[in-house]
């Protein structure tokens, strides 16, 4: 379950980061995101976080688990607050709130799931 949370979160985060990084200037202006270099920097950081989640999903450890839980909960809080505070179209607001709810759920899965451990004698992973 924990690996699933890592991979699904990475599949949510990577498109978000890449989308922000390559966001056209007109779209950034509509979202009232200024200056554009700040949006690009945030996109690069979120993309790097998604790549780190992909890597952590291959071999779960306590550091990766902290990355998953803290990152998901922080991003869910940020997206949720932004969606509620800004005067956005209803469809966009619903998408952002749904995205925040999904990240919140995945963060809670990462917090509550048992981590996979390697057996001492070798063999398959056990959950």
Quote the pLDDT of residue 118.
Answer: 41
State the DSSP code for 117: B
Quote the pLDDT of residue 125.
Answer: 52
Spacing of C-alpha 15 from chain mean position: 10
Residue 120 backbone dihedrals phi, psi, to 5 degrees: -65, -35
Buried b (16+ CB within 10 A) or exposed e, 59-74: ebeeebbebbbebbbe
SS3 60: coil
Quote the pLDDT of residue 115.
Answer: 56
Each residue's pLDDT tens digit in the chain (127 positions)?
Answer: 778 888 888 888 889 889 888 888 888 777 777 788 888 888 898 898 888 888 888 877 777 788 788 888 888 998 888 888 888 889 989 998 998 999 899 889 888 886 554 444 444 554 4
Structure tokens of 22? Answer: 């390559």
């Amino acid at each position: 379950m924990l690996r699933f949370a890592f991979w699904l979160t990475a599949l949510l985060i990577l498109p978000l980061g890449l989308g922000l990084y390559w966001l056209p200037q007109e779209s950034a202006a509509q979202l009232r995101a200024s200056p554009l270099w700040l949006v690009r920097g945030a996109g690069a950081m979120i993309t790097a976080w998604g790549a780190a989640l992909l890597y952590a999903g291959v071999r779960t450890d306590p550091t990766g688990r902290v990355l998953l839980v803290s990152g998901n909960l922080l991003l869910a809080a940020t997206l949720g607050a932004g969606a509620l505070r800004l005067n956005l179209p209803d469809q966009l607001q619903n998408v952002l709130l749904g995205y925040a709810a999904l990240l919140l759920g995945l963060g809670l899965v990462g917090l509550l799931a048992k981590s996979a451990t390697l057996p001492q004698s070798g063999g398959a992973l056990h959950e």
